[in-house]
Structure 1
Amino acid sequence: MSVTPCGFARTPEKGLARLHWAGDDWAVDGRPADVPALRPLRGLEIEWPDAEVPELAELALDGLLRLAAAGIPLTADRAARWVPADLAALLTDRAWLGHAADGTARCLADLRREEHSIRLRRLAHPTPAPKISIVMSSKRPGLVGAALAQMERQRDVAAEVLLGLHGAAFEQVRAAVESCALPVKWVEAEASVPFGEVLNRAAALASGDYLAKWDDDDWYGPRHLADLAMALTYASADVVGTTAEFFYLEPLRATIRRTTFASGAGYPSEVWSDHVAGGTIMLSLAKFREIGGFPPISRAVDLEFLKAAQRAGTRIYRTHGLGYVLRRGLSAEHTWQLPLAHFLKVAANQWRGFRPSLLMEAA
């Protein structure tokens, strides 16, 4: 399906509009359902056509799926009999409409609307389960078990794990690895080996069609990899990743969501970009090798890899970040060193405790 959510607007400028059948296609308040013109809307309320004729039902369903594929939030108080059960359940789940925009930092209206949009996209963009090699370097054996457990939760993909032990011995993680249901390949590297080189040594063991980078201390929703594969497919991208949008600030016990850069410039999802969250980079294994792998350096590995990808002429697409939460403690604990005050400055939303998107399914 050529229709994509590229250009999705997080914050609508207008309310709901009426989606109705206009003889041979859907219309919005009497006008053709043109996707760019629909972006500012909160969503579309469906008025069902009399589609007892099978051909008409098929045509109407195709039109709804095109809108869902574009990320347009759709809703209805009931579903027509010819609507498949999974789509009907989403269309009639109107919980997201119960949140009104109030301008506060705790407002959930935009988030719940986007979650609804993403669930619709997943139905409209079915993607065959890809073979993905997950590459992760860790110097913290105590985090490996939890990271592997999140990898095991991944749905609609066939995954293997490539584990680079950075200054840690396999014996320290043996129990976690042997209890993991996924196939795990591992390498040991001295602590003095640059981070990027450890990733490359692990990635050399890959047998999947795609390579996905994973950070040991972050949280990933169960559809994280499947959503990346979906975005790669509908965008026809070479490299895909998510926004770095949700952060859990451990010392403050707070979750923030950012939708702008520190400069104030917008930080949208579903766009072509030179920036994606480093812990979410995914691309075909062939393209990874063509780029030359990760730069064998200790810091800014993700940034330099994306720069190298651009120099190689790759197309980088940034999809939604609702299935990913970055953990931030004191700056010295991370290769991406920014003070906690920075994250508070860029926060569009802020909540007490661990409050990820519902798409994380309580990761």
Structure 2
Amino acid sequence: MSVTPCGFTRTPGKGFARLHWADGWRVDGEPPEASEPHSLRGLEIDWPGEPVPLDGLTGLAGAGIPLTAQDAPAWVPGDLAALLTDRDWLAQPADGTARSLADLRREEHSVRLRRLAHRPARVSVSIVMSTKRPGLVGAALAQMERQRGVEAEVLIGLHGVAFEQVRAAVEACSLPVRWVEAARSVPFGEVLNRAAALASGDYLAKWDDDDWYGPDHLSDLVMARSYAGADVVGTTAEFFYLEPLRATIRRTTFASGAAYPSEVWADHVAGGTILLQSAKFREIGGFPALPRAVDLEFLKAAQKIGARTYRTHGLGYVLRRGLTDEHTWQLPLAHFVRVATNQWRGFRPSLLMESA
């Protein structure tokens, strides 16, 4: 079977099945692919009495199938055993609706299993960020420092901001940081390009100065690019913190009511999460030198040259929404309330954010 999470189902149509050994790993007596494992809430592992190959089991983990076990024998590697026997994600009752927290906890568990199964090689990533808000630079850099599994460098486009306004934040950062200064009249996309011209990493990642990113954000993108074979990857724009309302919402559908899935080929990803190889970025022609809609037009340009875009999970990313004129993506706060699948008071990201 495929060892990727492509086609992961947020709200499965079936319950649990039994994963057991019978001359190979079987799901209720059948090969795993015959059980349509993405349609299952999860697989409960029934361990054999003696050691057996774990390849089939780790393949299911790599596919994002939620696996669980009451215990694990000593011959199961410790990191895998710890994850399989961590059953906290089962504490929430499933009610079959998208609003169910059981589905969110299940997806978080799925992502942890994917990370364990795939473990991409450590790569170098050039993080590109443009900012007009010097007061946000310190917090943005702190989140970049938290990134695990990658070698990161930071490239900042100071958009109408003098370096002296951010010097303290930059000098306090443990990562290598380079910057360019540009007048406020320079289009946003051009500022990004000037910063990106300094990149030395194998990959280039776009970063928004006012959003929140979990510590595995970049490594999850690299992992998704690897297992999907994509040219461009990004996440869903799924979690939003509505600052004036002091509320967090999660959306899993478009405004039309159509499903907004992750782990799919798509023409749209969250603009603050775009990642691709630096060579492919140059082949596309960089960011369009526009004041707005830079991400959208960049993805269109990528599609025109035949680049394929993949949308992975958005559990490690939260977008900040303030007043409409503060953002290049301009939609009223009422829009986000209207499309919310879940809504909570205060800042309530996914557990994968590790309290970013």
Q: How far did residue 81 of structure 1 move?
A: 1.7
Residues 112-191 of structure 1: pairs in structure 2 closer than 5 A:
112-191=105-184
Q: How far did residue 144 of structure 1 move?
A: 0.4
Identify the residue that residue 350 of structure 1 maps to in structure 2: 343
Secondary structure of 1:240's match?
strand
Identify the residue that residue 11 of structure 2 maps to in structure 1: 11
Separation in 2 of the partners of 1:67 and 1:206?
Answer: 37
Decide whether the 8 Å contact of 1:221 with 1:360 is kept in 2.
Answer: yes
Q: How far did residue 270 of structure 1 move?
A: 0.5
Q: How far did residue 35 of structure 1 move?
A: 7.0
Identify the residue that residue 28 of structure 1 maps to in structure 2: 27
Identify the residue that residue 50 of structure 1 maps to in structure 2: 49
Whether 1:331 aligns to 2:324 is yes
Identify the residue that residue 300 of structure 2 maps to in structure 1: 307
What is the percentage of aligned positions where both structures have the same residue? 79
What TM-score, normalized by structure 2, do the two folds share? 0.98
Separation in 1 of the partners of 2:246 and 2:14?
Answer: 34
Q: How far did residue 201 of structure 1 move?
A: 0.2
Separation in 2 of the partners of 1:345 and 1:67?
Answer: 36
Decide whether the 8 Å contact of 1:220 with 1:324 is kept in 2.
Answer: yes
Identify the residue that residue 70 of structure 2 maps to in structure 1: 77
RMSD between aligned alpha carbons? 1.3
Residues 35, 358 of structure 1: alpha-carbon distance in 2 compared, 3 angstrom cutoff: farther
Report the count of equivalent residues: 356
Residues 71, 107 of structure 1: alpha-carbon distance in 2 compared, 3 angstrom cutoff: same
Which of 93, 100, 119 is 1:100 aligned to?
Answer: 93
Decide whether the 8 Å contact of 2:11 with 2:97 is kept in 1.
Answer: no
Identify the residue that residue 315 of structure 2 maps to in structure 1: 322
Decide whether the 8 Å contact of 1:154 with 1:223 is kept in 2.
Answer: yes
Q: Which amino acid in 1 is paired with 2:48? A: P
Identify the residue that residue 217 of structure 1 maps to in structure 2: 210
Separation in 2 of the partners of 1:112 and 1:190?
Answer: 45
List 4+ stretches of structure 1 deviating above 6 A. Answer: 103-106
Identify the residue that residue 248 of structure 1 maps to in structure 2: 241
Secondary structure of 1:241's match?
strand
Decide whether the 8 Å contact of 1:150 with 1:222 is kept in 2.
Answer: yes
Decide whether the 8 Å contact of 1:213 with 1:279 is kept in 2.
Answer: yes
Separation in 1 of the partners of 2:35 and 2:171?
Answer: 50
Q: How far did residue 302 of structure 1 move?
A: 0.2
Identify the residue that residue 250 of structure 2 maps to in structure 1: 257
Residues 196, 177 of structure 1: alpha-carbon distance in 2 compared, 3 angstrom cutoff: same
List alignment gaps of at least 5 residues for structure 2.
none
Higher mean displacement: 102-111 or 226-235: 102-111
Decide whether the 8 Å contact of 1:2 with 1:234 is kept in 2.
Answer: no
Residues 192-211 of structure 1: pairs in structure 2 closer than 5 A:
192-211=185-204
Decide whether the 8 Å contact of 1:106 with 1:350 is kept in 2.
Answer: no
Q: Which amino acid in 2 is paired with 1:50? A: G
Separation in 2 of the partners of 1:356 and 1:31?
Answer: 38
Q: Which amino acid in 1 is paired with 2:179? A: W
Separation in 2 of the partners of 1:20 and 1:209?
Answer: 41
Decide whether the 8 Å contact of 2:2 with 2:63 is kept in 1.
Answer: no
Residues 14, 104 of structure 1: alpha-carbon distance in 2 compared, 3 angstrom cutoff: closer
Identify the residue that residue 40 of structure 1 maps to in structure 2: 39
